[in-house]
Structure 1
């Protein structure tokens, strides 16, 4: 797990610009605290920051192979979970290896298969290869978009990086945010290729982007295709069990301490149970970590998203599997500390507006990093198996928009109410969302001869796997890598995603519950309480002290009447929000204040040029 960056310039001599590639690389020191390296030639410069996970002494990057017709050099971020099998296959084809790292295997895979190396990989990855033989840069991103990857076309080449901050460190990249970029920030549709910053793009998941003298071309090497599912219920459950067992075993491979993120929900508990069983065979005890808030369990109140507190279920799982468990306890002061908010914004390069769910995640990862370097997560199971509440809400499912926007909750409801009125009119967020929704639905591959319900639910599942999940994966990667922690996501293994995606909705809900397939496939490693628990998302504090602290900070922002944030935010809205009773503050208002504070600090940190008119 690492941070990568680079610069291709066909009309320049980049050997004279080592200071710039060093600066770009330096922005990602948190992603790679263990080592740093650059590789510079006339027309290509590559930078790498390393978080050592496998083959600690041997995986130094950039890594290059000298061929008779020029060097082939690579910077790589992520993990190839099938690297052992690929190494054996490549050795059989005559390749010789000098290290035990997966990085070298991927590089030799490129030498053997070219761009098609992507078809051979199982894992999470973003890597770039400068092929001196053809003077081209090949950028490849994993199928689900687990690892971030951005690029910025220039007049004579490209800039790229794991994060926008690496690209923005180059003088050629301008810190401009236009109306089109800002619409997506508010709209929350996860438009493909979006980065917020003008002229900067994501390498889309499952995509290969190739830079040559005549421009940039892209090719999709993986997408969600509709295929007939022929397995019966028993066979399907068994196949999911087999896949999950294999995936977790593969993702436990590391030369550093590992742990599991445990929330007490079905997803993380399943991963915990499978990991505990696999480690027990090696004579090891699984370590688990959870985040919680002081007083949350004692004072918990059910809301539209959560019926029960997490703590009792966490204890049940930890007791069943015998894990070495640790709770990371947080209070409103921890969650509203402006320094923590600024650290989160810097990690993500955008004012994401997820409030305490962002700051608590960052603080959880920071605590874990003191004891582990790799963590397995239950992220993405809801998208794969259909777990979110709105999957089972008829109005949300049948709404003519993205289901997560149709379902009323604090994060998605009335997302543009806080905007300055003229800006709100200019942006036309509802129109933007409608256009994105139509584009997304039109791209879904469907099977013939299925019921309207099955067709609709395939669409809903597709929207989550190609749009919604990417926001959450980016959030988890950026928060974890900001403290040098690698988080692995077993539910994003493409074999599992493809298989479950093509199971009919009737199979996904065969016991009249959400995530039926996962529930039954992993019931052998779950306590009864978790097996019967209703879906509950990532926790959020209910302490009114959190809302009160936000209001005080909002008043401090209001005391700066000339602050540029008021070019974006409706001052009257913020004034009203700062005066409501903190104890009864609606979740939408609380989240709105969080979003304003994110914008306020983001402007201060990044000094963006806003072109929103």
Structure 2
């Protein structure tokens, strides 16, 4: 994995700005605790922090190659390329000579061979920058599904870039300003492609290349979802999904450091864990190590709700027994979840008050505990987006609504909240309904059509597209920031673009051939999982039900809103906030009220800690 950053300026000698470039690089220390590097030239400063995964001694960065008769090409790279061994063989056959065993060098020499077209040859999760001194051009590249983040900030004479906004914000030339559109994006839960929230900042879109030269910035997509006929029957489709996942997991088990799986007891993570266990056993590499998160008293006192019908732990233990995993339950309490240091660490990891309260804090604490044992983890993230697992995929009201399905009815309560406490004036100014609709129309216009496809099948293609280009980004961002905040690399097998492309084009009737959600995945997992896990209903990542946590939320929100002039006071209606705070514990179990308090607390901390100025 790693953290990358840099600065290109065609009118400035950046060798004299080394201290600033170093400060930008230092912000990425959490992403790369093992090593660091900074390369400077008259018009470029390239920084890197390394988390060593493959070729621990030979993969130092920035990595530089000298080509006879031209200047150096300098690479700063984050991620993993899972087909690097095949690419290495191909590049060797084309005459390239390697000094290391790292996938980093494969990416660098792929650029020497194919230039900006190198991305089309890569299978993996990655975000990288290459400074080509001969061309005086910077290349920014992000993986197809956006698993690894990459931001940039155009300047009058160049660009700043980094894995996270904090790297760019460390440069004194960048004001910490959020305008009305930035605040809307912050609150909307729609993840508009390329939107960086901070004014003037952008995110490289998944599957996009950004080239920066003296003539300005050029952008192009090297990958996007395409629609085509799916001709395979049920049996062939199930077999193809299984074959792809067998190959994907085998590739993603390659590591020179300890590796584990994240296990929730659901279909997705259980299949990844079972495949990993099978592969390791066949290679005589021992048993798979797995970890799960739980809360004190959660299983014993669990209460089903609209979102979750069962606790995770019994199903986790069924899978562990079935595959013989070396398993650890990470059990958390409410004091840990509300620990100010933990909540501050979550905000620093995010750079933005995008959090979902205890579900962010618990994920951070889970990853922190795992990092004491492993450096790499496999995750079941994104299977719901790929195979159609969320409840709203199967809710006619949500599917037929003229908006994103996750923003319909009770689903909406899971994902919004803060604006419910805003003043009438702030709500009119922001017009969140209008912003969400604009984002929806943009997404709808992008959906690749299939000739002759109409009705429900066409609509389900649209719904799948929304999830694979918008919703999944929200969860991948969360996973990346919480894991990299503690130097843990999390791999996402279900985001392999070959699998995504194949399943995206399967008709909805095929994706639900057994009358349930994720039929193709369940069919592919039939021989791997115990019956209890195979038949379990979808249950999202757990949230604590401890009333002590809710009481702590009330208490903290009361302090913020009544303890003087809070930075977010101009947005919040005090009467609305007080009405929520004064409700007895248990009455605010509705997700919208809880989400509202969580977001108010994070907004307050963000304005204070980040010195953000609103320009509304």
Determine if contact 1:342/1:602 at 8 Å carries over to the other structure. no
C-alpha displacement of 1:423: 1.3
Where does residue 64 of structure 1 map in the other structure? 64
Alpha-carbon distance in structure 2 between the residues aligned to 1:69 and 1:328: 53
Where does residue 193 of structure 1 map in the other structure? 194
Where does residue 278 of structure 2 map in the other structure? 277
Determine if contact 2:238/2:523 at 8 Å carries over to the other structure. yes
Alpha-carbon distance in structure 2 between the residues aligned to 1:420 and 1:61: 49
Task: Encode CA deviations 1:347-392: one digit per residue, 9 max, x unaligned.
Answer: 0100013111110000000000000000000000000000000000
Alpha-carbon distance in structure 2 between the residues aligned to 1:420 and 1:282: 61
Alpha-carbon distance in structure 2 between the residues aligned to 1:385 and 1:88: 34
Alpha-carbon distance in structure 2 between the residues aligned to 1:171 and 1:201: 18
Residue 484 (structure 2) aligned to one of 481, 484, 502:
481
Alpha-carbon distance in structure 2 between the residues aligned to 1:307 and 1:394: 20
Where does residue 605 of structure 1 map in the other structure? 609
C-alpha displacement of 1:583: 2.4
Where does residue 533 of structure 1 map in the other structure? 536
Where does residue 299 of structure 1 map in the other structure? 301
C-alpha displacement of 1:224: 0.5
Residue 379 (structure 1) aligned to one of 378, 381, 386:
381
Determine if contact 1:206/1:222 at 8 Å carries over to the other structure. yes
Where does residue 79 of structure 2 map in the other structure? 78
Determine if contact 2:73/2:131 at 8 Å carries over to the other structure. yes
Where does residue 237 of structure 1 map in the other structure? 238
Alpha-carbon distance in structure 2 between the residues aligned to 1:28 and 1:570: 37
Alpha-carbon distance in structure 2 between the residues aligned to 1:407 and 1:479: 29
C-alpha displacement of 1:407: 4.3
Aligned residue runs from structure 1 range 564-583, under 5 A: 564-583=567-586
DSSP 3-state at the match of 2:223:
coil
Where does residue 121 of structure 2 map in the other structure? 120
Determine if contact 2:32/2:51 at 8 Å carries over to the other structure. yes
Where does residue 48 of structure 1 map in the other structure? 48
Where does residue 402 of structure 2 map in the other structure? 400
Range 481-490 or range 564-573, more displaced = 564-573
C-alpha displacement of 1:82: 0.4
Does 1:512 find its partner at 2:510? Answer: no
Residue 344 (structure 1) aligned to one of 337, 343, 346:
346
Alpha-carbon distance in structure 1 between the residues aligned to 2:319 and 2:280: 16
C-alpha displacement of 1:413: 5.1
Alpha-carbon distance in structure 1 between the residues aligned to 2:127 and 2:454: 38
Alpha-carbon distance in structure 2 between the residues aligned to 1:351 and 1:139: 26
Where does residue 470 of structure 1 map in the other structure? 473
Determine if contact 1:210/1:216 at 8 Å carries over to the other structure. yes
CA 1:415/1:449 → structure 2, altered by over 3 Å: closer, same or farther?
A: farther
Determine if contact 1:187/1:415 at 8 Å carries over to the other structure. no
Where does residue 246 of structure 1 map in the other structure? 247
C-alpha displacement of 1:573: 2.0
Does 1:36 find its partner at 2:36? Answer: yes
Does 1:495 find its partner at 2:501? Answer: no
Alpha-carbon distance in structure 2 between the residues aligned to 1:300 and 1:604: 37
Range 148-157 or range 441-450, more displaced = 441-450
Task: Encode CA deviations 1:254-293: one digit per residue, 9 max, x unaligned.
Answer: 0000000000000000100000000112221100000001
Report the number of matched residues: 612
Determine if contact 2:111/2:118 at 8 Å carries over to the other structure. yes
Alpha-carbon distance in structure 1 between the residues aligned to 2:160 and 2:540: 37
Residue 600 (structure 2) aligned to one of 593, 596, 599:
596
Where does residue 181 of structure 1 map in the other structure? 182
Task: Encode CA deviations 1:75-128: one digit per residue, 9 max, x unaligned.
Answer: 000000000000000000000000000000000000000011000000000000
Aligned residue runs from structure 1 range 92-241, under 5 A: 92-241=93-242
Does 1:437 find its partner at 2:448? Answer: no
Where does residue 391 of structure 1 map in the other structure? 393
Range 463-472 or range 274-283, more displaced = 274-283
Alpha-carbon distance in structure 1 between the residues aligned to 2:27 and 2:610: 13
Alpha-carbon distance in structure 1 between the residues aligned to 2:462 and 2:417: 24
Query: What TM-score does the superposition give when structure 2 sets the normalisation length?
Result: 0.98
Structure 2: state its 5+ residue gaps: none
C-alpha displacement of 1:450: 2.4
C-alpha displacement of 1:420: 2.7
Alpha-carbon distance in structure 2 between the residues aligned to 1:607 and 1:345: 13
Alpha-carbon distance in structure 2 between the residues aligned to 1:223 and 1:291: 34
Query: What TM-score does the superposition give when structure 1 sets the normalisation length?
Result: 0.99
Task: Encode CA deviations 1:436-480: one digit per residue, 9 max, x unaligned.
Answer: 111110110111222401000000000000000001101100100
Alpha-carbon distance in structure 1 between the residues aligned to 2:217 and 2:414: 36
DSSP 3-state at the match of 2:410:
coil
Alpha-carbon distance in structure 2 between the residues aligned to 1:42 and 1:571: 53
Alpha-carbon distance in structure 1 between the residues aligned to 2:111 and 2:278: 35
Where does residue 559 of structure 1 map in the other structure? 562
Range 349-358 or range 509-518, more displaced = 349-358
Alpha-carbon distance in structure 2 between the residues aligned to 1:594 and 1:415: 8
DSSP 3-state at the match of 1:6:
strand
Alpha-carbon distance in structure 2 between the residues aligned to 1:557 and 1:58: 50
Where does residue 372 of structure 2 map in the other structure? 370
C-alpha displacement of 1:561: 2.9
Alpha-carbon distance in structure 2 between the residues aligned to 1:7 and 1:587: 42
Determine if contact 1:390/1:407 at 8 Å carries over to the other structure. no
Alpha-carbon distance in structure 1 between the residues aligned to 2:409 and 2:41: 52
Alpha-carbon distance in structure 1 between the residues aligned to 2:575 and 2:271: 47
Alpha-carbon distance in structure 2 between the residues aligned to 1:107 and 1:579: 59
